Amino acid sequence: MKTRTITRYRTVPHTVDGETELITEPYTVDIPLPPRDWDQLVRAGVTTGAVVLVTVSVVWSTASIGDLLDRVVIAPAAYGAAVAFDTAWIMCMAVEWLCRYDPPRARIARYAGHIALAIAMAAVFAHGSLADQLVVGAVGAVVSAVAKGAWMIAMTVHARPLDTRTQQWVAKRRAALDGQRAMIPVRRELLRSQALIEAERAALTGPDWNPDHDPTESGPATEDPDDEQPAAPAGPMTVKDAVRTALDSGMSDPDRVLAYVRTRADANAKPATVDRYIRLAKLAG
């Protein structure tokens, strides 16, 4: 068994002139080496080879298509546009990799990559044809196909297919979480719209406008004191202050007090908390 030597440290006592202190002492130990993971080495080699081939394909296609477009436009624009041909199918491969656990979405990226690859190969072949070098054009076009094929093989090495039941479970979980994420900008947009509406109303009606006031309401009813709503405070309220305000306004029903607290102070106020403040307020009164 192969081993390797490493240095570790331990604390030991050391005495000088009858006084003992703890000092750090280095020592060496031999630990066994794990067996070489040839599968991982081969996997890394395949991935590296695919990356190299993709790089070669980009360089070749850019030079070939750039020279083709250079006939009608300036060189910077020609070679800049030439990069887009191989970049398109490379991006499709990246999307296919990210969606490897979502077969429908990965399938779309795969088909789009094939179309982008065919366009890039046709452009390279057209360059060779115009230069009266059909063989060179054909071989150059095959370079991109070889690079994409190598990357597809590398993806099969790294892919971990899921069974049908697990795939459905992943799809449902992803849909639920994506729905929650999608609601974040939706809620933000709704709040922004509401704020704009209230700002416009305040600008049109003056500084005394209250967004919680309904102009269609008549005066306070005298039949039941609990139906009378207390006036809105000028600033933010705590749960305790909201309970005190509701009781001072004549509310006696705990449910109505709770509704008022949730409207004016805390939308998530708990009934037990409101009841406790009601008892404290009655004791104090």
Integer Cα distance of 279 and 243 in angstroms: 10
pLDDT at residue 11 in the model: 93
More confident residue, 87 or 227: 87
Nearest one of 66, 42, 58 to 146, comparing CA atoms: 58
- Is the pLDDT score of 120 beyond 60? yes
Q: How confident is the model at residue 9 (pLDDT cuts 50, 70, 90)?
A: very high
pLDDT confidence of 242, banded at 50, 70, 90? confident
Closest Cα partner for 89 from 65, 121, 67, 63? 121
Q: How confident is the model at residue 236 (pLDDT cuts 50, 70, 90)?
A: low
Contacts of 68 (CB under 8 A, 6+ apart): 78, 82, 123, 126, 127, 130
What value does the mean pLDDT take over residues 22-44?
87
pTM above 0.85, yes or no: no
Average pLDDT over residues 110-115: 90
pLDDT tens digits, residue range 145-168? 898 888 888 888 877 778 888 888
Instruction: Output the DSSP codes for 142-170.
Output: HHHHHHHHHHHHHHHHH-----HHHHHHH
Does residue 26 register a pLDDT over 50? Answer: yes
Task: Give the rounded percent of residues in the chain with a pLDDT score beyond 90.
Answer: 8
pLDDT at 112: 92
**Percent of the chain having pLDDT more than 70?**
88
In this prediction, residues 271-277 reach a mean pLDDT of 82
Alpha carbon distance 154, 148 (integer Å)? 10
In whole numbers, what is the pLDDT of the chain averaged over residues?
A: 82
The dihedral of CA 137, 140, 145, 146: what is its sign?
positive
239 φ/ψ angles, rounded to the nearest 5 degrees:
-60, -40
Q: Is the pLDDT of residue 260 over 50?
A: yes
- Residue 206, pLDDT > 60, answer no
Average pLDDT over residues 45-73: 88
Q: Give the C-alpha separation, 84 to 76, whole Å.
A: 13
Mean per-residue pLDDT, 92-115: 87
Dihedral class, residue 84 (left if φ above 0, else alpha if ψ from -120 to 50, else beta): alpha
Closest CA to 144 of 82, 95, 100: 82
The string of pLDDT tens digits covering residues 47-57 is 888 889 888 88
Q: What is the mean pLDDT of residues 53-75?
A: 88
- pLDDT-derived band at 194, boundaries 50, 70, 90: confident
Res 225 pLDDT > 50: no
pLDDT confidence of residue 223:
47
